[in-house]
Structure 1
Amino acid sequence: MTSPSALCAGRVAVVTGAGRGLGRAHALAFAAEGAKVVVNDLGVGLDGSGAATGPAQRVVEEIRAAGGEAVAHDGDIATTEGAASLVATALDAFGRLDTLVNNAGFLRDRMLVNLDEDDWDAVMRVHLKGHFLPLRHAAAHWRAEAKAGRTPEARIVNTSSGAGLLGSVGQGNYAAAKAGIVGLTLVAAAEMGRYGVQVNAIAPAARTRMTETAFAGTMAAPGAGVFDAMAPENVSPLVVWLGSAASAGVSGRVFEAEAGRITVMEGWRPGPTADKGARWSPAEAGEAVTGLLAAAETPQPVYGAR
């Protein structure tokens, strides 16, 4: 059933990793606001193993059962071919593309001394490359539209994490990839604004396959009428708004979303500074840094640090 606001009526949204968890919630929320949705999911396990078409198709069927329009895409968006076909699926099925939500990912957690190269590469590939390639192909389409005189009201919403903003013990690969997504977001926003493309990122906290152990105790009792603070559906309203034309003028921002809370995250910016006007000696540099740190704000702790 479409929301009375129909915030995304007439728009076409692509959501990656949309077969379960946050991606599924986003896809359903876009459809509820009138968008036509391309539901992408490779159907892999929590660690990226295996593949199945079922999860994406089930979400498509949910959307259609509620009166919406959706198609499934089960390609690997961390490949050039898969990312190109993702954009082509939207254009072939619905004739346009307005919003891209990059959400696909999985975990291979290890402490750094136990983290092998394959686990590093796999997580970097799905999170960071899996953001870059769909973004690149969608952006190329929108740039061509703008150059043809059809400047879009295009939106990209990337998915970072608190782990990418603060770090997370046992998740060096994941934290590095999610930090990279923030950098990619800022560059894309700066480069693509002239073509009518806005790019933002979210750092969500919700109960999904990747976090179900951490948030297991927060699940609301069925039928209790209690606000389920960790439900993935709590994050989706922000994503839908950022993916709509209503978010005009908002780009290059990172938002933390959890339960009923939305926070604008403020990243690296200059703090206390000392300038000698000449080269420091090591001892002088150390003395200066000691004073600067005493005047600086204490960093937020890394997740899981003692």
Structure 2
Amino acid sequence: MSGILEGRVAIVTGAGRGLGREHALELARQGARVVVNDLGTSGAGEGASDGPAGEVVEAIRALGGEAVANGADVANFAATEALVQQAVDEFGGLDIVVNNAGFVRDRMIVTTSEQEWDAVVAVHLKGHFALMHHAAGYWRAEAKAGRTRAARIVNTTSGAGLQGSVGQGSYSAAKAGIAALTLVGAAELGRYGITVNALAPAARTRMTEGPFAAQMAAPDSGFDAMHPGNVSPVVAWLASEDAADVTGRVIEVEGGRICVENGWSHGPSRELDRRWTAAEVGPAVRELLKEAPEPEPVYGAQ
């Protein structure tokens, strides 16, 4: 197989179903050799099975590509280190990390348990960090040995992390953290030839089949704007050597629409040459709010 990723080696997490599956298949079509990681859990992160990852590996091989399965829990720090080593051992190196693994446990803040919060933050935020850490360590060592690779990290945030989502406090917080981690990663890792970007995909997956089922339904005919495969060509390009000049960006993809997010930026301000008094703060902030753009609404807000 040949394409824009010919000869490159990729890890895709959460690649057994949905977005991750489509990413793994697209990267393989573009010539990448793929380590297909999936713990095989339910949509709520329960249980485990090697079936989903194995099925994607077989699908890639049926296309004429090369792939191996990995069943590691990405929230396990040692397991992600072994995942990087597996790519190196199987395919002779590593060029691409696509962090996609995750699940949701939708609850209002007042009903979210500590265990539910920890589980969601662990798989999304810690899982992204753990694989970034170990992959970046490998790439740094390669660069210091004079073998700088055109390394690419593509993270997965969400509109929930950018605008918030009612009933998804843990998921929204984790995804917001991933967006910030992406910016920091881009700033820190560029010296080693590594770019770090994030996608905010809107697609039909297990995580959207609950509260957003009606909006995500497939049409009777025509272009299926919510098919997860619509997102994957953007992942493939960001993972290519051609994308060397793009880093620290969050890109929203929905159907045929690609949008570069602005993120947090400095807005209107006032400054004194002394400390503000508490009585002065209210009028000043209200004037600034009149000058600032209205924030986008939180998903699900009334």
TM-score range, shorter chain: over 0.9
Identify which of 187, 192, 200 aligns with 1:190. 187
CA contact (8 A) 1:43 1:52 kept: yes
Corresponding residue for residue 26 of structure 2: 29
Q: State whether structure 2 residue 13 is matched by structure 1 residue 16.
A: yes
Identify which of 227, 232, 241 aligns with 2:223. 227
Alignment of 1:196-211 (within 5 A): 196-211=193-208
| CA distance in 2 between partners of 1:9 and 1:276 (Å) | 57
| CA distance in 2 between partners of 1:23 and 1:216 (Å) | 22
Runs of 4+ in 1 over 4 A off after TM superposition: none
CA shift at 1:168, angstroms? 0.5
Identify which of 90, 93, 98 aligns with 1:93. 90
Corresponding residue for residue 271 of structure 1: 267
CA shift at 1:246, angstroms? 1.1
Unpaired runs of 5+ in structure 2? Answer: none
CA shift at 1:220, angstroms? 2.6
Q: What's the Cα RMSD here? A: 0.9
CA shift at 1:282, angstroms? 1.3
Q: Deviations over 1:175-218 (max 9, x none)?
A: 00000001111111111100000000010000001112314453
DSSP 3-state at the match of 1:138: helix
- Mean Cα deviation higher: 73-82 or 49-58: 73-82
Q: Deviations over 1:245-283 (max 9, x none)?
A: 110110011000110000000011111101121111112
CA contact (8 A) 1:166 1:302 kept: yes
What is the TM-score with the length of structure 2 in the denominator? 0.98
| CA distance in 1 between partners of 2:244 and 2:275 (Å) | 46
| CA distance in 2 between partners of 1:215 and 1:259 (Å) | 16
DSSP 3-state at the match of 2:189: helix
What is the TM-score with the length of structure 1 in the denominator? 0.96
Q: State whether structure 2 residue 67 is matched by structure 1 residue 70.
A: yes
Q: Percent identity?
A: 62
Corresponding residue for residue 123 of structure 1: 120
Corresponding residue for residue 256 of structure 1: 252
Counterpart residue type for residue 264 of structure 2: W
Unpaired runs of 5+ in structure 1? Answer: none
CA contact (8 A) 1:215 1:230 kept: no
Identify which of 25, 29, 37 aligns with 1:40. 37
Corresponding residue for residue 168 of structure 2: 171
Corresponding residue for residue 301 of structure 1: 297
What is the total number of aligned residue pairs between the two structures? Answer: 300
